[in-house]
Structure 1
Amino acid sequence: MYARGMTVREIRGHLEELYGIDVSPDLISAVTDAVLEEVAEWQNRPLDAVYPLVFFDAIRVKIRDEGFVRNKAVYIALGILPDGTKEILGIWIEQTEGAKFWLRVMNELKSRGVADVLIAVVDGLKGFPEAINAVFPQTVVQTCIVHLIRHSLEFVSWKDRKSVVPALRAIYRAKDAEAGMKALEEFEAGYWGQRYPAITQSWRRNWQHVVPFFAFPESVRRIIYTTNAIEALNSKLRRAVRTRGHFPNDDAAMKLLYLVLNHAAEDWKRPPREWFEAKTQFAVVFGERFVSQ
């Protein structure tokens, strides 16, 4: 499942480290070309018509490109189906900056059969919400609260982080958008807001896409906020990528990520337990867009 630029020894090393298995060099050579076709088929397979929730997230991967090792973004879309089970919709290695790239991804999802996404959770990148709504105009675009908190903590010294996190919690756990804004203003006027003014600026910049979060009942908020599924996935991907250093080309990166993702997907037999309560709320909030499926 690797590009020709990777040696048999490196492939064997990855397989042993990831899965504790050892395979012969002849077998690895035989499967490499076949998997190229498998990856393409998987990336172009038909998708379901409706996904109540899709998380779009990225990891950074070093890939050799035109003689230079570049730090490229690899985007993963994790969809939650109406029954609560998870599915990786695809992997995309960013070739162009910003909105044009994301618009291409959205159009690709639509061409593969996706007619509606109820909530898209994104990492706050400029142009991403507009690209989503250009193709799926009814989709609620929600900034990932976990990413926003992480971004906030980048401004904070290590010794202060344990104190700042509870102060931020008052914002995103507020009962509604009005109370959330009041909590943000109180944070801004308080000790931590004065010490780290960049935090408030970041929340204000993203507020338009934080607000939708407050309209949902607690059970739905918990699903949106608790990104355990994609966090666990990213952890596996980063571990696999870290052992590689850098990839000789995009295909090599794509194949390793495909291998790890498909191995992870084997464990996804049941929906998260929070989904049973959230499902009822989705049906109330979105009506026929959810229950007609």
Structure 2
Amino acid sequence: MTDVIDREDESNSAPVGVSDARLQELVDQARAEGLQLTGEGGLLAKLTKLVVESALEGEMDDHLGYGKNDPAGRGSGNSRNGRRAKTVLTEAGPVELDVPRDRESSFEPKIVAKRQRRLTGVEDMVISLSAKGLTTGEISAHLAEVYGAEVSKQTISTITERVMDGMAEWQNRPLDPVYPVLFIDCIHVKIRDGNVANRPIYVVMGVTVDGTRDILGLWAGEHGDGEGAKYWLRVLSELKNRGVQDVLIVVCDGLKHLPDSIGQVWPQTIVQTCVVHLLRNTYAYASRKDWAEIAKDLKPVYTAPSEQAALDRFAEFSDKWEKRYPAIIRLWTNTWAEFVPFLQFDNAIRQVIYTTNAIESVNARIRRAVKARGHFPTEAAALKCVYLAIMSLDPKGTARQRWSNRWKAALNAFEITFDGRLSAGRK
């Protein structure tokens, strides 16, 4: 309805072609007859019909070059030829319109195109509800309850399926030549493929040279203990083929075979484990009553000014806790090579790569949508749900702006530490 509402004069009177008296007449009629606001036959549906039909008549005037009953149209070669009935779905419910026709059948209305069955806004509503995790049946029930509009599950499915075309374009769009940081994380979804099984969907988020966050793509993994080297090589090669020639640091959480594949695609890239994930995994091996003390003893390790200082603090930690929790010591020992890289960097860089919290906030929104759905019939259905959830995030870009405002110190540190690789990538 935006196009119609915008066709008002500067005095904010009724839309062109609709008099204030006619609008008041409808309102008075609604009061007298007790009409409901929404739903079929409701006041908003009547107003929508009035405004849209008025706009269609205006479009016909423009098409023919003269107004209705204007003598200037005599002998012009084309003229009005009655109307045809057409029902469209609107936010106010289904509305039956009388669409004007011309004798040459050359009239192509813009406000409601010839094969259009829904006015702008309804499809956005369906996609928004789908992004929140509602099923086609739940969306259909919602539209019926709130708007009095009977929309079949098949129609809703058709609307959301169109999103897949946009997803394919998004997944293959060109990327920046260099990223200071990539975060790679996964969420698990239930997919019914014979039996319901947990499957990972990997999310790759890049921090751009300008300090904004950008989801670069989604990849579905297999059910099992992890993806092989060929899988990760394919994913990373896809990113490189889309334009990513260099990445300074990749932050991930113990994804098997990923570090080796990163080394093949971007030989200079540093792989950093997520410290928050490492701490979280640490607590899984300890009694809850010891968590606070373990956290206190580990803080000097991951906040150490150098790797040697971190080793000294970890030795002290091991002396205290190894007998009680040997699995914790083994966890840190096995992860040490991916843990320590960030210790060599300036604090501004540490704050960026310290944790995957940046991507965790995205995953939290995705998980809400996934949880609402329960499980998915196919991998494509799961990917569509995740994609819709991502597209619904931060529409005003305010979170990205907040990050950018804190980015300058980190940008300077990256530029100096990595010897101009950011500048080289932007040339």
Query: Where does the alignment leave 5 or more consecutive residues of structure 2 unmatched?
Result: 1-126
Where does residue 282 of structure 1 map in the other structure? 414
Give 3-state SS (helix, strand or coil) of 1:88's partner.
strand
Of 75, 83, 87, 2:210 maps to: 83
Aligned residue identity for 1:56: I
Q: Tell me whether 166-175 or 219-228 shows the greater mean CA deviation.
A: 219-228
Where does residue 161 of structure 2 map in the other structure? 33
Quickly say closer, same or farther: Cα 1:112–1:12, change in 2 above 3 A: farther
Q: 2:171–2:218: 8 Å Cα contact kept in structure 1?
A: yes
Where does residue 198 of structure 2 map in the other structure? 71
Quickly say closer, same or farther: Cα 1:22–1:145, change in 2 above 3 A: farther
Of 164, 172, 196, 1:44 maps to: 172
Larger Rg computed on CA atoms: 2
Q: What is the deviation of 1:25?
A: 3.0
Quickly say closer, same or farther: Cα 1:107–1:187, change in 2 above 3 A: same
Q: Distance in 2 between matches of 1:210 and 1:228?
A: 16
Residues 213-258 of structure 1 deviation map (CA, whole Å, 9 limit, x = unaligned): 1110111101111433212111111111111111111111101101
Q: Distance in 2 between matches of 1:135 and 1:142?
A: 16
Aligned residue identity for 1:208: A
Q: 1:219–1:274: 8 Å Cα contact kept in structure 2?
A: no
Residues 80-102 of structure 1 deviation map (CA, whole Å, 9 limit, x = unaligned): 00010010000111037322211
Residues 182-212 of structure 1 deviation map (CA, whole Å, 9 limit, x = unaligned): 111110101x343211111111101111121
Q: 1:237–1:257: 8 Å Cα contact kept in structure 2?
A: yes
Quickly say closer, same or farther: Cα 1:13–1:50, change in 2 above 3 A: farther
Give 3-state SS (helix, strand or coil) of 1:195's partner.
coil
Q: Distance in 2 between matches of 1:274 and 1:64?
A: 43
Q: Distance in 1 between matches of 2:346 and 2:239?
A: 28
Where does residue 167 of structure 1 map in the other structure? 297
Q: 1:14–1:240: 8 Å Cα contact kept in structure 2?
A: no
Quickly say closer, same or farther: Cα 1:290–1:260, change in 2 above 3 A: same
Q: 1:116–1:139: 8 Å Cα contact kept in structure 2?
A: yes
Q: 2:366–2:389: 8 Å Cα contact kept in structure 1?
A: yes
Q: Distance in 1 between matches of 2:279 and 2:161?
A: 42
The normalised TM-score by structure 1 is 0.89
Query: Where does the alignment leave 5 or more consecutive residues of structure 1 unmatched?
Result: none
Give 3-state SS (helix, strand or coil) of 1:125's partner.
coil
**1:230 aligned to 2:359?**
yes
**1:209 aligned to 2:341?**
no
Q: What is the deviation of 1:37?
A: 1.0
Q: 1:51–1:118: 8 Å Cα contact kept in structure 2?
A: yes
Percentage of identical aligned residues? 45
Aligned residue identity for 2:401: R
Give 3-state SS (helix, strand or coil) of 1:92's partner.
strand
**1:118 aligned to 2:248?**
yes
Q: 2:227–2:257: 8 Å Cα contact kept in structure 1?
A: no
Quickly say closer, same or farther: Cα 1:126–1:29, change in 2 above 3 A: closer
Q: 2:203–2:219: 8 Å Cα contact kept in structure 1?
A: yes
Aligned residue identity for 2:365: K
Where does residue 53 of structure 1 map in the other structure? 181
More helix by proportion, 1 or 2?
1
Q: Distance in 2 between matches of 1:21 and 1:52?
A: 47
Q: What is the deviation of 1:288?
A: 2.0
Aligned residue identity for 2:204: A
When the two chains are superposed, the root-mean-square deviation of aligned CA atoms in Å is 2.4
Q: Distance in 2 between matches of 1:151 and 1:23?
A: 49
**1:253 aligned to 2:385?**
no
Quickly say closer, same or farther: Cα 1:236–1:138, change in 2 above 3 A: same
Q: Distance in 2 between matches of 1:167 and 1:194?
A: 15
The normalised TM-score by structure 2 is 0.62
Give 3-state SS (helix, strand or coil) of 2:203's partner.
strand
Q: What is the deviation of 1:163?
A: 2.0
